[in-house]
Amino acid sequence: MLNAAILIAVIAVGGLLAWPKLSNNKLWRATLTPLASIIGSGFLVLGPILDDKFGQYGLIVMALLCAIATAFGSAIRFNITARSSEEGEEGPILSRLEHAASWVLAFAYIISVAYYLNLFGAFGVSLTPVDDNTTARLLTTAVFGLILLVGWTRGFSALERLEELSVGIKLSIIAGLLVALAVYFTGKATSSELVLNPPTVSGWGAATLIFGLIVTVQGFETSRYLGATYSPAMRVRSMQLAQLISAIIYLIYIGFVTFVFSRDELQFSETAIVDMMGVVAPILPVLLVAAALSAQLSAAVADTNGSGGLFEELTEGRVSSRMGYLLLVAVGVSITWLADVFQIISYASRAFALYYAIQSAIAARAAWKAHGWGPRCLVYGALAGLGLAMALFGAAVEG
Domain at 2-16+37-84+96-393, CATH homologous superfamily: Amino acid/polyamine transporter I (1.20.1740.10)
**Which residue from 124, 141, 112, 134 is spatially nearest to 288, judged by alpha carbons?**
124
Residue 88 has a pLDDT of 46
- Per-residue confidence at 208, pLDDT binned at 50, 70, 90? very high
Residue 243 has a pLDDT of 93
Residue 227 has a pLDDT of 63
Given a cut of 70, is residue 89 above it in pLDDT?
A: no
The 3-state secondary structure of the chain reads CHHHHHHHHHHHHHHHHHCHHHHCCHHHHHHHHHHHHHCCCHHHHHHHHHHHHHHHHHHHHHHHHHHHHHHHHHHHHHHHHHHCCHHHCCCHHHHHHHHHHHHHHHHHHHHHHHHHHHHHHHHHCCCCCCCCHHHHHHHHHHHHHHHHHHHHHCCCHHHHHHHHHHHHHHHHHHHHHHHHHHHHHHHHHHCCCCCCCCCCCCHHHHHHHHHCCHHHHCCHHHHHHCCCCCCHHHHHHHHHHHHHHHHHHHHHHHHHHCCCCCHHHCCCCCCHHHHHHHHHCCCHHHHHHHHHHHHHHHHHHHHHHHHHHHHHHHCCCCCCHHHHHHHHHHHHHHHHHHCCHHHHHHHHHHHHHHHHHHHHHHHHHHHHHHHCCCHHHHHHHHHHHHHHHHHHHCCCCCC
Express each pLDDT in 242-287 by its tens digit: 999 999 999 999 999 889 888 777 677 778 888 888 888 888 888 8
- Per-residue confidence at 345, pLDDT binned at 50, 70, 90? confident
Residue 135 has a pLDDT of 93
Residue 80 has a pLDDT of 86
- Alpha carbons 50 and 75: distance in angstroms, whole number: 27
Express each pLDDT in 282-327 by its tens digit: 888 888 888 888 878 877 877 787 777 788 878 888 878 888 888 8
The mean pLDDT of 188-203, rounded to a whole number, is 88
Given a cut of 60, is residue 179 above it in pLDDT?
A: yes
> What's the mean per-residue pLDDT of the chain?
85
The mean pLDDT of 200-206, rounded to a whole number, is 90
The pTM score is 0.89
- Among 38-42, 74-78, 128-132, 360-364, the range scoring the smallest mean pLDDT is 38-42
- Alpha carbons 127 and 187: distance in angstroms, whole number: 27
The mean pLDDT of 29-37, rounded to a whole number, is 81
Express each pLDDT in 115-174 by its tens digit: 889 988 988 888 888 888 899 999 999 999 988 887 777 766 655 566 667 778 888 888
- Alpha carbons 65 and 39: distance in angstroms, whole number: 13
